[in-house]
Each structure stands twice: as structure tokens, then as C-alpha cells.
Structure 1
Amino acid sequence: MTTTTLIVEDHPLYRGALVHLMHVVLSEAITLEASSAEEGLRMVDQAENLAVIMLDLGLPGLRGVDAIASFRYKCPSALIVVVSASEDRRETMAAIRSGAKVVLSKAVSTEVMADIMRRLLNNELLEPVWITANGKIAIDEEASVKLTPRQQEILVLLSYGQSNKEIGLRLGLAEITVKMHVSAVFRTLKVVNRTQAVSAARRLGLYQISEVG
């Protein structure tokens, strides 16, 4: 079965360079192009055997971690590679927490990009990597912290000061089930109480305050 890749980049010249890069790395792959995340998401529905999605972190419209999360939802098996003009650590860690396997600075040479892509496709990269013009940058241990969708919902309600019983009624869960989820959140975030959990989640960008259910 033919492999498909998707390049999502709003700058035509740089998009063309990424398409060429992908042809060098995967000469027999079909490479699709999109100038926005919205356009790319529509293409995902038609793509067969989509292996890699390369997207700019600073796209117009849907962008950043929201774009990454949307592509992961649509195509959870695809490897997501982020390219970015920014080398901001906070943005990079957020991208990795959202599911990016590789974050590449646009200042990196095409030779280095090609090498990283080959290693990624050969399953040689066991952990997320961040590559800048200065080389490989250490990934914060916190970037690997992930919560399940249910745990994120419960964290939002914890931030509102709701009790386990109130959360259970809101989400249709038994109180003991909520307690188990809360304990799991504490272990994941390495905290001992609700205040610390909410503070840690905000600092790590693991959820946004919004309505639940």
C-alpha cells in the first residue's frame, strides 16, 4: 500500500521545500499539500495510509496545540512533525505534550531534517526530540506528562472547587470512580492535594478552563 504524507504550511516557498524534502526521504510516497490546518484536516479524510503530518506551528486560523490535537484526533496513527520559526521552549513543550513526535526549527538545514525524518520513520526515535540550529535540545521531563480526557475533565471541575460527589453527579460517575481518577491525577502530576494539582496542570498547559459536559 502506498504511503501518504501531508505537509501543512502557509508559506508557499517553504511548503515547496518541505514537499521536496519528503520526496527525498520517501520517494514513493504520495505527498499532499495544505496551506492551513483546516484544509489539511479535510484532506486527512481522503488520505490512505497517512504516515506523517508535517505542520507549521504558526499557521493562520487553527494553529499550535489546537491544530496538533485536531490532527491527532483525525488520524491517531500518523506521526506528527512540527516545524516552527520560533524556538520558544514553552511552545515546544506544549507541542510535544499535544502529540508532536519531532519539533524542528526552520533554521535547521534540510540535511539534518532529512536525517531526523529517516530516523523517525525507521522507528529509531523512541522519545520526542527537539532540534534547533544549535542541535538537539533537552526535553523537559514534564513534557511527557499526559492526562486522559476524563482526567482533564475532572481537573477542570476540581479547579471550580467541586467535591468528588459533585463531580460524580456532573459527569455521571460513581463517587469512588471519581476518587480513583483524582488519585491517578495526583500520581501523574506528582502532587498531594487538589490545589497543587490545579496549579501544576495550569503550569504545564494540560487543560484549559472551560465548561465540561
Structure 2
Amino acid sequence: MKFLLIDDHALFRHGLLLLLEKLPGDHEFLQADDCEGAFALLDGHRNPDLILLDLALPGMNGLDGVQRFRELCPTTPIVLLSANENPQFIMDGMGRGAHGFIPKSAKPEVVMAALQVVLAGGTYMPSLRALRPPVSGTDSQALTERQREVLALLARNKSNKEIADALGMRVNTARVHVSAILKSLGVESREDAARVALGQLVVSDGA
């Protein structure tokens, strides 16, 4: 299995490499400290099986890098890594095509579990509730402003496409927002999220 690790801290890359070596099978590692160096490594080489990309990089940042990697390696899953756990950065990265986000504060066993989910074809995103001070009960106030806008439309039974059109975002971004809202509110379905919105008057008047 071939991995591409992009982080400007060599010590962090080394620690991540040691974790990846615990995955079954033979491994090949490509390492770069910025996006431009990673693009050069990909030139003439077989696409990696997984890209691990730091958000805060010199030169091109990780968010912009996601889009470029999607063009160069359209089928390769991308996992974002960052010490910045701002939910908006997570949503933006997932909306641009990343398959997962792992906080750099995560424990090794969490990192391994997340990578296995992504390598199996899934997506991994930590609960947004875990990235902010805990709140008591199910509370829509824990959501970001953008998520509250999505939730208001969700409560009106709008589809992901209708939400995307109304808010000027990609359908995939709307889908990621909905998934994050369900996790943050601790509910299982769009209907349950809508009930929370209605119960807490998130839904404003109008269409």
C-alpha cells in the first residue's frame, strides 16, 4: 500500500509513519513538507492509495491542496490532519472532496480506526460536539452559523440539492453539513434534527 504524507513538521510525519507501518501488508511512503513538493512526487509515479494532508502548510494550504489532489488523483482518498479543530475548516475540507478529518490531538488508536474506515471506502469525521466545549442536552446553539442555516432548511424538508441551491454551496458540502449536524445534535435522522430545530425555534419564517 502506498501512502503520501504531507506535513511541514518532520517529527509528526515520522510518528504518523510509525503508526501506518502497523497496518497489515507491505507499505511504501512518500513524504513532502508542502503541497508543491507532493505534486512533484506524484509526477510519473503510480497514484498513492491514501493521502494524509495537513491543513496548515507553507505555500498552498491544505484546503486548496485538496482540490488539486482531487484533479491529480481522483480516486485516492484524502484525510486531512490539523491542530486547528475549527468545525468550519472541517466542513470546508470535506466539502472540497476530503474523505476524513483527524485532529492532531487524537489518540493513536483513534487515528488507526479512522484510517481503516477511510481505507475501507468510508468517510471519517469526529463529532463536532467533541471539538468544542461540552453543552448540556441537545442544543442547536452548539452549531455554527452555517449549520444553523442548513438546519433551518432541513426542518422544512428540503433535500440536499435544495439546501445547496438555497445557500450557494455544492451538494456534497450540503450533505457533509447535514451529517455533521446529526452528529453534533446526537440524533440519527433528518426528521429528528428537524424536530430539534422546530422545538428550539431555529426555523425562521418564509420559504
| Common topology (TM > 0.5) | yes
SS at match of 2:78: strand
8 Å CA contact retained: 1:8, 1:55: yes
Name the residue aligned to 2:13: 15
Deviation at 1:29, TM superposition (A): 1.7
2:158 counterpart residue number: none
- 1:72 is aligned with what amino acid? R
Query: 1: distance between equivalents of 2:6 and 2:47?
Result: 17
* Correspondence list, 1:25-64, <5 A: 25-64=23-62
Amino acid in structure 2 at the alignment position of 1:129:
M
1:66-113 deviations in whole A, cap 9, x for unaligned?
Answer: 111111111111100000000101111100011111101000011110
Query: Is 2:126 the counterpart of 1:130?
Result: yes
Distance in 2 between the 1:36 and 1:133 partners? 30
Contact 1:108 1:133 (C-alpha < 8 Å) held by counterparts: no
Mark the CA change 1:57 to 1:84 in structure 2 (over 3 Å): closer, same or farther: same
Whether the aligned pair in 2 keeps the contact of 1:4 and 1:29 (CA below 8 Å) is yes
Q: 2:88 aligns with which of 84, 87, 90?
A: 90
Q: Is the 8 A contact 2:81 2:102 kept in 1?
A: yes
Structure 2 CA distance, aligned partners of 1:18 and 1:132? 23
Partners of 1:13 and 1:73 in 2: how far apart?
Answer: 29
Q: Deviations over 1:133-190 (max 9, x none)?
A: 948xx99696xxxxxxxxxxxxxxxxxxxxxxxxxxxxxxxxxxxxxxxxxxx84624
User: Any stretches of 5+ residues in structure 2 without a counterpart?
Assistant: 132-142, 151-160, 175-207
Q: Give the secondary structure class of the aligned counterpart of 2:22.
A: helix
Superposition RMSD in Å: 3.3
> 1:19 Cα deviation (Å)?
1.4
- Greater Rg over alpha carbons, structure: 1
Cα distance, 1:133–1:56 mapped onto 2, change above 3 Å: farther
SS at match of 2:106: coil
CA distance in 2, matches of 1:112, 1:132: 15
CA distance in 2, matches of 1:133, 1:11: 28
Secondary structure at the aligned position of 2:126 is classed as strand
> What secondary structure, in the 3-state scheme, does the structure 2 residue paired with 1:7 have?
strand
Aligned to 2:118: 120
Contact 1:36 1:62 in 2 (8 A): yes
Size of the aligned set, in residue pairs, is 150
- Deviations, residues 24-74 of structure 1 (Å, cap 9, x unaligned): 125412111111110011112233241100010001101132111111111
Say if 2:164 and 2:173, in contact at 8 Å, map to a contact too.
no
Q: Any stretches of 5+ residues in structure 1 without a counterpart?
A: 143-185, 192-196, 207-213
Matches for 1:184-203 after TM superposition, within 5 Å: 187=162, 189-191=164-166, 200-201=168-169
Q: Which runs of 4+ in 1 moved over 6 A?
A: none
Structure 2 residue matching 1:25: 3-state secondary structure: coil
Contact 2:3 2:50 in 1 (8 A): yes
Match of 2:71 among 51, 73, 82: 73
Q: Are residues 134 and 90 of structure 1, via their aligned partners in 2, closer, same or farther at CA, if it must alter by over 3 Å? A: closer
- 2:78 paired with 1:103: no
